[in-house]
């Protein structure tokens, strides 16, 4: 019945991937969701072969930190895992719809804020780079 | 109160509905729904204007509602009852009206428990007038402390009587998160004793959470203003009540100008009607007033004391069961007599949204978030909480189902 809380999501929540800090990050960004107090901060270390060409800059290291509900933590875990090694221009194309698809569960309107929080933070990192 | 549940058609339409969010808004009994539909089918018209029968009837019903509400809260006259769109609007009308009495350096006292509606308007006016804004602190049981701490400026007043130039005291009668009942009468008499009736600070009471459940007597309480919303007490949305002492209402300006509140207009001068019409600009939500009137009749038939007794009994039952659940923490007063039927809690470190969502999928409706009380949640040291709240249509079966839902949440998140 509870598709939203299927085991895979709960596993990401209990032991999130890429949780923690990166010491020498190239960029970090944070967002909170005032509605429920969730907070996600993402750290990225870029790897570039040519720093003037965005398609040649990709995610070297990525991590996240923060707190939140199962959906927002699982999304951050899944998104950071997905982003590893991806080039900036590839990630810029990654849409909200893509994020929900990646999450693989049906999310109600009210919970979309939770599911999309990490993506918002990732985008801030991309735009600032 | 199984019998009352039958008066609410939503429960027969959705037989599996376990509604535990009445502090947010209440369900509506058939008699209220009927009164609204009866208005539209038999005497729909505008009030105070038409010279025909149905308009007279509508005007009469609205004025009857005013009298009924005046009696319900024991105001000294129906002229002290103003129809608003809800608690929030009521507080904004008061804030706007009283701003001429707030001077630079004077003090406004709130509590840490206030709903944003009774906080943000005062914060705004304090900034505008360079007045001081103090928050009365709560102790670990969610009761107001004796002293008033201004942590920002590192000042502690041992009593509210020590606050210099205190001009406004705005507080909730019952907290929408902690369920704490504030002894307004005690506070009002302390202030009256020290300053005298004429010079005491204005006392404003947010009764959004108390009016649906408690017997209210504004004269006994000694407040200057009191506000509440109809939708939390079984009436339609869009209607609220502002009680104000006649003498003060006479002196203050309305928030909104135009339409009904006008006596005479010439090209460069307009005169206004007296209170309460002075504050009721535009066409009122007539059907909601008629619905509220019917809701008050319904509450009077049950007896507000019985409503409160049922709430105490159910709160007691729920708290005993909730306390038995390992990892569940209840916020606010421990004894059901000292609190309303709104019980906020946290469960281990499971996010309240996850709790509410899993229960929601079982058709058990509870609330999760900061309940428009962010300051309170930061005082409690939490981001958000989950809340159940009861009304006359709830019974022990609802509590039992809620408890088994909580056990299910725990099992989903265990490990
Ligand atoms: C204590 C308190 N004050 C004010 C309000 C705001 O009421 P309304 O949204 O009806 O204006 C509420 C409702 O949630 C409340 O619980």
- What CATH number corresponds to the domain at position B235? 3.40.640.10
B22 in a domain, yes or no? no
Number of Cβ within a 10 Å radius of residue B59: 17
Query: Do residues A65 and A41 make contact, with C-beta atoms less than 8 angstroms apart?
Result: yes
Domain termination site, one of B257, B284, B299: B299
Contact of B307 with chain A, judged by CB distance below 8 Å, is answered with no
Report the range of poorest mean pLDDT among A36-45, B220-229, B322-331.
A36-45
Query: Do residues B9 and B30 make contact, with C-beta atoms less than 8 angstroms apart?
Result: yes
B212 in a domain, yes or no? yes
Predicted pLDDT of residue A5: 86
- Specify whether B119 is located in the same domain as B262: yes
- Specify whether B49 is located in the same domain as B67: yes
Domain termination site, one of B299, B315, B330: B299
pLDDT tens readout for residues B113-163: 999 999 999 999 999 999 999 999 999 899 999 888 877 778 899 999 999
Count of CB pairs separated by less than 8 Å, A with B: 44
- Specify whether B73 is located in the same domain as B92: yes
Helix axes B304-323, B286-302, angle to 10 degrees: 80
- Specify whether B248 is located in the same domain as B155: yes
Query: Do residues B377 and B357 make contact, with C-beta atoms less than 8 angstroms apart?
Result: no
- Specify whether B280 is located in the same domain as B387: no
Contact of B274 with chain A, judged by CB distance below 8 Å, is answered with no
Contacts of A126 (CB under 8 A, 6+ apart): A88, A91, A92
B197 in a domain, yes or no? yes
- Specify whether B311 is located in the same domain as B278: no
Is the pLDDT reported for residue B34 higher than 70? yes
Distance B410 CA to ligand 1 centre (A): 31
Count of positions (residues) in chain B: 415
Closest ligand 1 atom to B372 CA: 14
> Structural domains in chain A?
2-128 (3.90.1010.10)
Contact of B415 with chain A, judged by CB distance below 8 Å, is answered with yes
- Specify whether B241 is located in the same domain as B345: no
Contact of B101 with chain A, judged by CB distance below 8 Å, is answered with no
Distance B369 CA to ligand 1 centre (A): 15
- Specify whether B258 is located in the same domain as B118: yes
Contact of B211 with chain A, judged by CB distance below 8 Å, is answered with no
B16 in a domain, yes or no? no
Q: What pLDDT tens digit does each residue of chain A (129 aa) get? A: 357 888 889 999 999 999 999 988 999 999 998 777 789 999 999 988 776 776 688 999 999 999 999 999 999 999 999 999 999 989 999 999 999 999 988 888 888 999 999 999 999 999 988
Mutate to test the pocket of ligand 1, among B177, B205, B209 (most ligand atoms within 8 A of CB): B209
Catalytic residue among B145, B172, B223, B372: B372
- Specify whether B357 is located in the same domain as B291: no
Scanning B331-370 for CB atoms below 8 A from A yields: 351-354, 357-358, 361, 368-370
Is the pLDDT reported for residue B188 higher than 80? yes
Is the pLDDT reported for residue B258 higher than 90? no
Q: Side-chain half-sphere of B6: how many Cα atoms within 13 Å?
A: 3
Query: Please, what sign has the CA dihedral across residues B371, B374, B375, B378?
Result: positive
Is the pLDDT reported for residue B80 higher than 90? yes
Predicted pLDDT of residue A1: 39
Distance B117 CA to ligand 1 centre (A): 6
Q: Identify all chain A residues contacting B371, using CB atoms and an 8 Å cutoff.
A: none
Which CATH number is B396's domain given? 3.90.1150.10
Token pair recorded at residue B395 = 């019974």
Interface probe, candidates B353, B358, B382, chain A, greatest A C-beta count within 10 A = B353
In angstroms, what CA-CA distances link B16 with B286, B360, B409?
A: 33, 11, 19
Domain termination site, one of B299, B326, B347: B299
pLDDT, mean over chain B: 94
Q: What is the four-CA torsion angle of B395, B397, B402, B403, rounded to 10 degrees?
A: 120
B33 in a domain, yes or no? no
B142 in a domain, yes or no? yes
Given an 8 Å threshold on Cβ–Cβ distance, is B354 in contact with A14? no
Give the separation between CA B315 and CA B278, rounded to whole angstroms: 41
Given an 8 Å threshold on Cβ–Cβ distance, is A4 in contact with B361? yes
Token pair recorded at residue B212 = 């649906």
Report the range of poorest mean pLDDT among B126-135, B242-251, B406-415.
B406-415
Token pair recorded at residue B195 = 């300053």
Q: Is the CB of B172 under 6 A from ligand 1?
A: yes
Predicted pLDDT of residue B415: 64
Predicted confidence band of residue B286 (pLDDT cuts 50, 70, 90): very high
- Specify whether B89 is located in the same domain as B151: yes
Active site includes B365? Answer: no
Q: With a threshold of 0.90, tell me whether the complex ipTM lies above it.
A: no
Is the pLDDT reported for residue B223 higher than 80? yes
- Nearest-Å Rg of the Cα atoms of chain B is 22
* Interface residue ranges in chain A relative to chain B, Cβ cutoff 8 Å: 1-2, 4-5, 10, 14, 34-38, 67-71, 108, 111, 114
Predicted pLDDT of residue B269: 82
Give the separation between CA A82 and CA A75, rounded to whole angstroms: 10
What average pLDDT does this structure show over B9-35?
A: 97
Given an 8 Å threshold on Cβ–Cβ distance, is A35 in contact with B369? yes
Peptide bond just before B276 cis, omega within 30 deg: yes
Token pair recorded at residue B78 = 């129906």
Predicted confidence band of residue B322 (pLDDT cuts 50, 70, 90): very high
Give the separation between CA B368 and CA A37, rounded to whole angstroms: 11
Question: Residue B80 belongs to what domain range?
Answer: 38-299
pLDDT tens readout for residues B365-410: 999 988 889 889 988 988 899 999 999 999 999 999 999 999 999 9
Token pair recorded at residue B81 = 């009852």
Predicted pLDDT of residue A54: 66
Mutate to test the pocket of ligand 1, among B85, B205, B208, B234 (most ligand atoms within 8 A of CB): B208
Q: Is the CB of B176 under 6 A from ligand 1?
A: yes
- For B231, which DSSP code? G
Contact of B377 with chain A, judged by CB distance below 8 Å, is answered with yes
What average pLDDT does this structure show over B254-268?
A: 82
- Specify whether B150 is located in the same domain as B292: yes
Q: How many domains does chain B have?
A: 2
Predicted confidence band of residue B168 (pLDDT cuts 50, 70, 90): very high
B9 in a domain, yes or no? no
Please give the residue of chain A at the shortest CA–CA distance from B383.
Answer: A37
B128 in a domain, yes or no? yes
Predicted pLDDT of residue B155: 85
- Specify whether B313 is located in the same domain as B175: no
């Amino acid at each position: 019945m509870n598709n939203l809380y299927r085991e895979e999501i709960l596993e990401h929540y209990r032991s999130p991937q890429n949780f923690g800090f990166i010491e020498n990050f190239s960029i970090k960004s944070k967002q909170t969701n005032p509605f429920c107090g969730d907070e996600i901060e993402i750290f990225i270390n870029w790897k570039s072969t040519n720093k003037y060409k965005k398609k040649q800059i990709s995610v070297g290291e990525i991590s996240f930190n923060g707190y939140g509900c199962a959906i927002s933590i699982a999304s951050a875990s899944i998104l950071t895992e997905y982003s590893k090694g991806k080039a900036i221009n590839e990630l810029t194309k990654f849409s909200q719809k893509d994020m929900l698809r990646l999450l693989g569960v049906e999310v109600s309107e009210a919970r979309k804020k939770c599911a999309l929080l990490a993506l918002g933070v990732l985008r801030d990192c991309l735009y600032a780079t | 109160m199984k019998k009352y549940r039958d008066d609410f058609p939503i429960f027969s339409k959705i037989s599996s509905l376990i509604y535990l969010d009445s502090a947010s808004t209440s369900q509506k009994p058939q008699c209220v729904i009927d009164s609204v539909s009866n208005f539209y089918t038999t005497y729909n018209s505008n009030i105070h204007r038409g010279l025909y029968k149905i308009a007279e009837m509508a005007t009469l019903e609205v004025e009857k509602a005013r009298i009924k509400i005046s009696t319900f809260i024991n105001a000294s006259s129906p002229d002290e009852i103003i129809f608003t769109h809800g608690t929030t609007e009521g507080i904004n009308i008061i804030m706007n009206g009283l701003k001429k009495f707030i001077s630079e350096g004077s003090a406004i006292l709130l509590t840490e428990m206030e709903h944003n509606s009774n906080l943000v308007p005062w914060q705004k006016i304090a900034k505008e007038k360079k007045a001081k804004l103090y928050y009365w602190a709560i102790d670990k049981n969610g009761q107001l402390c004796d002293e008033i701490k201004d942590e920002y400026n590192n000042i502690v007043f041992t009593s509210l009587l020590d606050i210099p130039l205190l001009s406004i005291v705005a507080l909730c009668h019952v907290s929408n998160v902690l369920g704490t009942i504030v002894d307004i009468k005690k506070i009002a008499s302390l202030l009256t004793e020290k300053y005298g009736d004429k010079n005491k600070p204005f006392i404003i009471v947010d009764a959004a959470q108390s009016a649906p459940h408690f017997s209210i007597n504004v004269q006994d309480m000694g407040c200057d203003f009191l506000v509440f919303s109809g939708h939390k007490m079984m009436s339609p949305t869009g209607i609220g009540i502002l009680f104000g002492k006649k003498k003060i209402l006479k002196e203050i300006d309305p928030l909104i100008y135009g339409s009904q509140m006008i006596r005479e207009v010439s090209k460069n001068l307009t005169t206004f009607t007296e209170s309460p019409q002075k504050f009721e600009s535009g066409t009122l939500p007539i059907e909601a007033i008629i619905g509220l009137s019917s809701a008050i009749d319904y509450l009077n038939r049950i007896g507000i004391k019985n409503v409160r007794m049922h709430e105490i009994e159910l709160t007691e039952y729920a708290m005993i069961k909730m306390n038995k659940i390992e990892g569940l923490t209840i916020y606010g007063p421990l004894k059901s007599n000292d609190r309303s039927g709104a019980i906020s809690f946290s469960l281990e470190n499971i996010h309240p949204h996850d709790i509410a969502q899993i229960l929601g999928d079982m058709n058990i409706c509870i609330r999760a978030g900061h309940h428009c009380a962010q300051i309170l949640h930061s005082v409690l040291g939490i981001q958000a909480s989950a809340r159940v709240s009861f009304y006359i249509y709830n019974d022990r079966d609802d509590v039992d189902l809620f408890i088994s839902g909580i056990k299910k949440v725990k099992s989903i998140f265990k490990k």
